[in-house]
Amino acid sequence: MRTTFSVLVLAMLVVGSALAAQAARLQYKDAAGTVRTYQATYDITGQFTLPGGGAMPLRMAMRFTVREKVIAVKADGTAAISSEMTDGTMKMTVLGEEQELPFPSVLMTYDRTPLGKMTNLKMSGEGAETMKQMQNMGLNQNFMSQFGQGFEFPNRELQVGDTWKVTQPFEVMPGMKMDLTALFKMIGAKTVDNRNLLQIDTDMSLAMPQAELKGPDGAPLGMTMAMQMTAKATSYFDEAAGALYGANFSGTINMQMAGKGGEAGAQNMHGTMTISGTMKQVKVEKDAAFTAPPM
């Protein structure tokens, strides 16, 4: 009995030590002049049922490069970042007909604290107007931090199995409000491409109850819409470098639209889209000729 008890105590100590070793206080460790390049992919497949019973399948594929550069870093670790989306291709197939669309480049600048909170977001470039419309819909700095440009970490030590939650309210159009909720979970150490990384899993959900669509001026458009989304993501954070290494995600979006109609009567349409994407770091450089401006 005493031997069994001793073995159990030893086992608990070993397990406890292993978990403690994986505890981490996650932070970005930005250094002026550092340039990280990521390759990103997004694929969308959808099927829409049109008024009258017709079907419209669609498919979209995007490939592009994200180049993130640290412009300057304050004494408290807050970094001025520029992030450029370039070298993109975008193909769309609707009703079996494929067309290649222009991929507008976008340059974003923002400030990021060591915990990942983003402020002072500015955009320029050919695709800036589209991104600004997304921002106006509520996809603000913190939303982008959680679901596009990395994470906003909790200000505490994270153990394997720890979770943190983010709820982001936003308005797609006047009268169309919804909440996007994400639950993040620390999975623990993971070896990827011979790198020691930390895996973080995310479960996201979004629900918008049926609401009347309105134009920018608030005038009714004679149509209602409801939407639901669920998604899962796996991200890899390089704790030693203090940077996001890569991520992959997949999700499903369901939409229901109904028009009041005129002489033709009510016009209804519904559809389902599946979305998947990847983002992976492919290069890290130090701009040798770079002189950081004062912040």
- Whether 122 is covered by a domain: the verdict is yes
pLDDT digits 0-9 by tens, 213-223: 777 677 777 77
pLDDT higher than 70, residue 91 = yes
pLDDT higher than 90, residue 211 = no
Pairing of strands 176-192, 195-214: antiparallel
Quick check: helix, strand or coil at residue 17?
Answer: helix
Q: How crowded is residue 44: how many other Cβ atoms within 10 Å of its Cβ?
A: 16
- Whether 8 is covered by a domain: the verdict is no
pLDDT for the residue numbered 204: 87
> Which helix or strand (DSSP H or E) is residue 211 part of?
strand 195-214
* Cα–Cα dist 182/180, whole Å: 7
The CATH number of residue 103's host domain is 2.30.230
* Cα–Cα dist 132/134, whole Å: 5
- Whether 7 is covered by a domain: the verdict is no
- Whether 3 is covered by a domain: the verdict is no
* Cα–Cα dist 136/120, whole Å: 14
pLDDT for the residue numbered 136: 45
pTM: 0.78
- Whether 186 is covered by a domain: the verdict is yes
Structure tokens at 16: 């406890």
CA separation, residue 30 to residues 70, 244, 286 (Å): 7, 11, 12
pLDDT digits 0-9 by tens, 101-147: 887 788 889 999 999 888 888 878 776 565 555 444 444 444 444 44
- Whether 219 is covered by a domain: the verdict is yes
pLDDT higher than 90, residue 170 = no
- 148 close to 121: Cβ distance less than 8 angstroms: no
pLDDT for the residue numbered 152: 80
| Residues contacting 36, CB < 8 A, separation 6+ | 67, 68, 69, 243, 281, 283, 284, 285
Decide which of 289 and 164 is more confident: 164
pLDDT for the residue numbered 174: 61
- Look at residues 114, 151, 155 and name the one whose alpha carbon lies nearest to residue 244: 151
Range of the domain at 190: 24-286
pLDDT higher than 70, residue 275 = yes
Domain count along the chain: 1
Range 281-286 average pLDDT: 93
* Cα–Cα dist 83/243, whole Å: 14
- Whether 224 is covered by a domain: the verdict is yes
- DSSP one-letter code for 215: -
Quick check: helix, strand or coil at residue 194?
Answer: coil
- DSSP one-letter code for 69: E
- Look at residues 152, 86, 88, 83 and name the one whose alpha carbon lies nearest to residue 123: 83
* Cα–Cα dist 128/148, whole Å: 16
- Whether 292 is covered by a domain: the verdict is no
* Cα–Cα dist 1/6, whole Å: 9
Structure tokens at 51: 């008024």
